[in-house]
Amino acid sequence: LAVHGRGAIAQDEHNNIVKMIEQRNEDGADEALRLHISVAFMTRLKQDAARRKEEG
């Protein structure tokens, strides 16, 4: 998502997911993936709300 600062945050989230997979930590990988998806979803909702507000 094209949001200022999101790229670095997403990269950290991806790195954490990979780390959990490499450690064979299923629960950790699941939690990290769910967090990443949740944050991305909330970011998208905020983008959409801001766009709708601008459009009136």
Sign of CA dihedral 22, 24, 26, 28: negative
Q: pTM of the prediction?
A: 0.82
The set of residues, in sequence order, having a beta carbon less than 8 Å from that of 56 and lying 6+ positions away, is none
Q: 1-22, pLDDT tens digit by residue?
A: 678 888 999 999 999 999 999 9
Share of the chain above pLDDT 90, in %: 88
Instruction: Count CB atoms within 10 A of the CB of residue 43.
Output: 16
User: Which amino acid, 13?
Assistant: E
Distance set, CA 34 to CA 3, 13, 30, 50 (Å): 20, 10, 6, 24
